[in-house]
Amino acid sequence: MLDIRTPLLLIFLSLLCACSGDSEPMRQLSGPTTPTDARVAELYNRSCRSCHAQGAGWAPRTGDLQAWAPRLQKGAPVLLEHTIDGFKGMPPMGMCFDCNEEDFTKLISFMSGG
Ligand code: HEC
């Protein structure tokens, strides 16, 4: 039987993992890394992918749900705004100048695991 200590232990272990930020690019990806939608795939491959596949410049990697979790907590509207306006190392529009808001919403959702 699981008791109350089990979830606490899991939280503790996940915090330990979160601290070892240097090894972040080595973490196994748990989400999809290829879009199923053809238009999303086309846009992703020629813009977001160049940075988000490898995690260039601290970009959260596509499919790395752990890296995306704190970002998702900001809420979808904030992430959309940061994608359009830019955010630190993230360039405005993610270098996809023919993407519309719906495209960005789909891209963010795909990259963050679904
Ligand atoms: C030139 C590299 C580059 C490209 C191209 C790029 N990104 Fe990013 N992106 C980044 C970096 C770096 C960050 C991390 C910024 C930070 O928090 O320091 C980031 C962060 C993000 C975030 C999280 C913002 C937040 O508030 O935490 C989203 C969402 C995002 N990118 C979406 C996209 C989408 C969608 C595309 C394609 C249309 C894209 N990015 C293309 C580099 C890039």
Pocket flag, ligand 1, residue 68 (CB < 6 Å)? no
Q: Which atom of ligand 1 is nearest to the CA of 80?
A: 29
User: Residue of the nearest CA to atom 26 in ligand 1?
Assistant: 79
> What pLDDT does 92 receive?
98
Pure H helices in the chain: 5-19, 38-46, 49-52, 65-72, 76-85, 101-111
Side chain identity, residue 25: P
Q: How high is the mean pLDDT of the chain?
A: 86
pLDDT attached to residue 63: 97
CA 13–ligand 1 middle distance (angstroms): 28
Q: Structure pTM?
A: 0.83
Angstrom distances, CA of residue 63 to CA of 25, 110, 114? 12, 8, 9
Give residue 56 CA to ligand 1 midpoint distance, Å.
10
- Residue 85, pLDDT > 50, answer yes
Both tokens of 50, joined, read: 């160049």
8 A C-beta contact, residue 34 and residue 41: yes
Domains and CATH numbers, the chain: 29-111 (1.10.760.10)
Give tens-digit pLDDT for 42-63.
999 999 999 999 998 999 999 9
